[in-house]
């Protein structure tokens, strides 16, 4: 359970999960949504996989990620997103959630 | 898709419940009148109530065991499903077995010290918790390939279908726990349709969702 909380405490990882809710995506497609280095993103994927929140399937050199969250984990994700866990304290909630989207 | 041990436990409990139900039913002077608080009690229900729990267990066992006739997959994919189904069937066996034993014992005049309504509330809450636990982990189960082509969905569509199934199951369980905890228990004539209605609606919603997914183009080729 600790791994799940750790995974959901980061806004980038939550945004990855939100994107995967819509459809499965390759690592490259996901990377287009984030202005971070690929190695940083790989570390995020590793944490999400460790927490068993995403599933990776490899075909050739392409890794496709798919969401694998339980009902409570999804509720927890929605809660963390609403409250804005892991965002700077000074940032107002509305602005923070707007930025996360 | 339950293991052999769980299947035999389920069949044994089912036969025992059925035998006890038939035995008690045959002893009733009027089968419309099953006393709830001892043989001389004025509170009574229809004797057919004795067959609701065995029927429920039969449906649960057949649907869990029968999944293997429709779905197939590698050992790695089937194992979590087997574990999940076994957990569900064994817990359900224990719950309905207890309920049947309680109804029969009370109609014979035993166990009158236990409040009937409290027992009903606890049983309903336990059934709700069971549904919540089963529904919660459902989206984590791997997708299986269906033997019937019309039921076949791709991995992403299966994932979505399982997520919806899990949420509906969890929601149904949560509403049962809330009813048991906070609301006055209604007479059986109203309570059964009240539980059966959402169950049928849930099944219809899942079928509709499956058809809808089948018509949609998949995001992955």
A-chain residues near B135 (CB < 8 A): 71
Give dist(CA A9, CA A13) in Å, integer: 8
Residue B35 lies in a domain: yes
Check if B167 contacts A (Cβ < 8 Å). Answer: yes
Q: In this structure, are residues B173 and B128 in contact, taking their beta carbons and an 8 Å threshold? A: yes
Residue B184 lies in a domain: yes
A-chain residues near B213 (CB < 8 A): none
In the block, residue with structure tokens 């059964």: B192
Residue B221 lies in a domain: no
Looking at residue B188, its pLDDT comes to: 64
Give dist(CA B45, CA B120) in Å, integer: 14
Which of B170, B217, B221 to mutate against chain A (most A CBs within 10 Å)? B170
Looking at residue A69, its pLDDT comes to: 93
Residue B220 lies in a domain: no
Domains of chain B: total = 1
Residues of chain A with pLDDT under 50: 92, 100-101
Q: In this structure, are residues B62 and B10 in contact, taking their beta carbons and an 8 Å threshold? A: no
Residue B23 lies in a domain: yes
Residue B201 lies in a domain: yes
Residue B116 lies in a domain: yes
For B150, the domain range is: 4-215
For the stretch B148-199, pLDDT in tens is 777 778 888 888 899 999 999 999 999 989 988 887 766 666 767 777 888 8
The chain A residues in contact with chain B (CB within 8 A) are 23-24, 52, 57, 64, 66-72, 74
Q: What is the pLDDT of chain B when averaged over all its residues?
A: 87
Q: Give the pLDDT mean for B52-57.
A: 91
CA A35 to chain B, closest CA, distance in angstroms equals 24
Indicate if the pLDDT at residue B45 is higher than 90: no
In chain B, the percentage of residues whose pLDDT exceeds 90 is: 40
A57, A64, A69 member nearest B139 (Cβ):
A69
Q: For residue B209, count CB atoms less than 10 angstroms from its CB and return exposed for 0-12, middle for 13-18, buried for 19 or more.
A: middle
Indicate if the pLDDT at residue B68 is higher than 90: no
Residue B208 lies in a domain: yes
């Amino acid at each position: 359970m600790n791994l799940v909380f750790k995974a959901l405490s980061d806004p980038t990882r939550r945004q990855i999960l939100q994107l995967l809710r819509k459809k499965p995506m390759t690592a490259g497609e996901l990377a287009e949504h984030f202005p971070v280095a690929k190695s940083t993103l790989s570390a995020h994927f590793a944490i999400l996989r460790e927490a068993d929140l995403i599933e990776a399937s490899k075909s050739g050199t392409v890794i496709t990620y798919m969401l694998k969250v339980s009902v409570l984990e999804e509720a927890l994700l929605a809660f963390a997103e609403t409250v804005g866990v892991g965002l700077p304290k000074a940032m107002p909630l509305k602005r923070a959630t707007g930025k996360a989207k | 898709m339950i293991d052999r041990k769980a299947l035999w436990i389920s069949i044994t409990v089912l036969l025992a419940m059925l035998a006890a139900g038939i035995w008690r039913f045959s002893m009733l002077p009027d089968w419309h009148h099953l006393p709830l608080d001892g043989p001389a009690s004025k509170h009574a229900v229809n004797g057919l109530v004795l067959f609701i729990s065995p029927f429920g267990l039969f449906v649960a066992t057949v649907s869990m065991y029968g999944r293997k006739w429709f779905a197939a997959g590698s050992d790695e994919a089937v194992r979590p499903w087997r574990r999940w189904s076994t957990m569900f069937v064994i817990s359900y066996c224990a719950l309905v077995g207890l309920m049947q034993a309680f109804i029969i014992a009370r109609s014979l005049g035993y166990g009158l010290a236990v409040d009937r309504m409290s027992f009903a509330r606890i049983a309903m809450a336990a059934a709700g918790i069971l549904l919540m636990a089963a529904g919660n982990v459902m989206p984590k189960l791997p997708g299986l390939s269906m033997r019937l082509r019309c039921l076949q969905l791709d991995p992403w569509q299966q994932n979505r279908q399982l997520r919806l199934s899990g949420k509906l199951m969890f929601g149904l369980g949560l509403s049962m726990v809330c009813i048991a905890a906070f609301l006055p228990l209604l007479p059986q004539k109203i309570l059964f349709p009240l539980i059966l209605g959402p169950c049928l609606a849930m099944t219809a919603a899942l079928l509709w969702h499956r058809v809808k997914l089948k018509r949609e183009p998949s995001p992955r080729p």
